[in-house]
């Protein structure tokens, strides 16, 4: 059995339309109801409205369906177990019931505190003229130490990183500083943007939450929702931390094999699974991705395939899907081996992509222009076909 090919779509305001997605050859849409506040219940009517919109954009020869939810966002109240977190958990359970009633059975989420994925440059120039997403520790320190002014932030970086950050801060214009802050706090397209003041306030709520406390909060949350997911036949897919390192003084608890082992030991329900993101996990040189995919096995409920290339400082940019430091052949082979064992289609999507060709002249969501992801999907589709032919799958 082959994997289900999907494409991320951020809803009606996405510059990439469903008509565009239909031409990529993907048949599954990965989306969410981003207009609904975090912690609130997703109404059945809103879910079905989105499903109908997606189906209507397909055609007899090129059908489209909502295949994976990405994401039902976990509220900050749940992550910190504060405020109205109990109500938010009950609302999350009800959302699971509502999406299951509509036939949706894969729900992606993450447990990253305060920020979602974090980059320092959204327009990193590639040698071929395309643009990529980039993470640079020196610029992160510029933001953290000199713009955000987080207390004692400099203590979290090596001295040479702080020294270079100070040099860059002095060199950057006010416009460049504002641009850097906007990039670091960019977040998910379609959701409200953060401010420096708002980020400081959120960080303060984690002053007494270390990695062990955050792990406990995650597994307590899962202990409540996984039985509901089991009953409904919904597969939960936690996305790894991006990047997979502590930043802004915040713990990262979904970054490596030991994190997953802890999560499954505490909450063994089979609905408790992962979104295997090769880009996020691949940014950590300690992660052996083919081995990790083999270890996770049937716990892999959704797959993001993208590549990264790291430098000697640990900075990384997003490379072409078959380029970079991730052995995509070996990873794809392990994912396909999982697909042969499970009874349901395992969805993957080309995650991120270079802004290239005509998309360079357009306003696109960073990492989510159409042509770069289409290139990635085409390359991954060919890789999958070659492996399946060689293995007789």
Give the pLDDT confidence of 107-150 residue by residue, as tens digits: 999 999 998 899 999 999 999 999 999 999 999 999 999 999 99
Segment 354-387, tens digit of pLDDT = 999 999 999 999 999 999 999 999 999 999 999 9
* Angle value at C-alpha 314, between 308 and 318, nearest 5 degrees: 20
Phi first, then psi, for residue 254 (nearest 5°) are -135, 70
Residue ranges in 102-173 assigned as alpha helix (H): 137-141, 159-171
Round to whole Å and give the CA distance between 338 and 346.
9
* pLDDT value at residue 188: 73
Segment 175-204, tens digit of pLDDT = 999 999 999 999 777 667 789 999 999 999
Handedness of CA 191, 194, 200, 201 (dihedral sign): negative
Query: Which residues are catalytically annotated?
Result: 239, 277, 304, 351-352, 368
How far the first Cα of the chain sits from its last, in Å, is: 6
Average pLDDT, the chain: 97
Phi first, then psi, for residue 57 (nearest 5°) are -80, -15
Q: What is the DSSP letter of 318?
A: E
pTM to 2 decimal places: 0.97
- DSSP element (H, E) containing 238: strand 235-239
Domains of the chain, each with CATH number or no CATH: 4-117+200-391 (3.20.20.150), 121-198 (no CATH)
* pLDDT value at residue 191: 67
* pLDDT value at residue 190: 63
Comparing CA positions, the residue from 54, 26, 78 lying closest to residue 223 is 78
- Residue 107 bridge partners (DSSP): 69, 236
**Residues 144 and 150: beta-carbon distance below 8 Å:** yes
Round to whole Å and give the CA distance between 71 and 391.
34
Average pLDDT for residues 249-271, to the nearest whole number?
97
Round to whole Å and give the CA distance between 381 and 393.
14
């Amino acid at each position: 059995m082959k994997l289900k090919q999907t494409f991320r779509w951020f809803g009606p305001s996405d510059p990439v339309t469903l008509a565009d997605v239909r031409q990529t050859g993907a048949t599954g849409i990965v989306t969410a109801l981003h207009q609904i506040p975090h912690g609130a219940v997703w109404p059945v009517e809103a879910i079905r409205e989105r499903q109908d919109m997606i189906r209507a954009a397909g055609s007899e020869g090129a059908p489209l369906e909502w295949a994976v939810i990405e994401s039902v966002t976990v509220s900050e109240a749940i992550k910190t177990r504060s405020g109205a977190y109990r109500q938010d958990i009950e609302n999350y359970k009800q959302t699971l019931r509502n999406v299951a009633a509509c036939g949706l059975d894969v729900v992606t989420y993450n447990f990253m505190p305060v920020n979602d994925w974090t980059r320092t440059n959204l327009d990193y120039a590639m040698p071929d003229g395309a643009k990529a997403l980039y993470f640079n520790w020196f610029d992160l320190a510029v933001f953290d130490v000199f713009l955000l002014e987080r207390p004692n932030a400099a203590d979290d970086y090596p001295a040479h990183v702080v020294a270079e950050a100070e040099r860059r801060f002095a060199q950057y214009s006010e416009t460049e500083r504002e641009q850097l802050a906007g990039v670091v706090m960019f977040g998910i397209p379609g959701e409200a943007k953060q401010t420096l003041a708002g980020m400081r306030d959120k960080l303060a709520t984690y002053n007494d939450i270390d990695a062990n406390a955050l792990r406990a909060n995650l597994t307590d949350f899962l202990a409540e929702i996984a039985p509901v997911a089991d009953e409904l036949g919904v597969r939960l897919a936690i996305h790894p931390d991006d990047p997979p390192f502590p930043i802004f003084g915040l713990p990262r608890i979904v970054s490596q094999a030991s994190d997953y082992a802890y999560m499954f030991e505490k909450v063994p329900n089979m609905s408790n699974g992962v979104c295997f993101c090769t880009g996020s996990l691949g940014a950590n040189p300690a992660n052996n991705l083919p081995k990790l995919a083999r270890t996770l096995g049937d716990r892999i409920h959704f797959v993001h395939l993208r590549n990264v290339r790291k430098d000697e400082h640990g900075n990384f940019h997003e490379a072409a899907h078959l380029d970079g430091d991730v052995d995509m052949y070996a990873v794809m082979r392990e994912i396909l081996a999982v697909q042969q064992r499970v009874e349901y289609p395992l969805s993957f999507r080309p995650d991120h992509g270079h802004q290239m060709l005509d998309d360079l002249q357009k306003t696109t969501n960073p990492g989510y222009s159409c042509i770069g992801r289409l290139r990635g999907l085409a390359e991954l589709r060919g890789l999958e076909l070659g492996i399946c032919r060689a293995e007789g799958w």
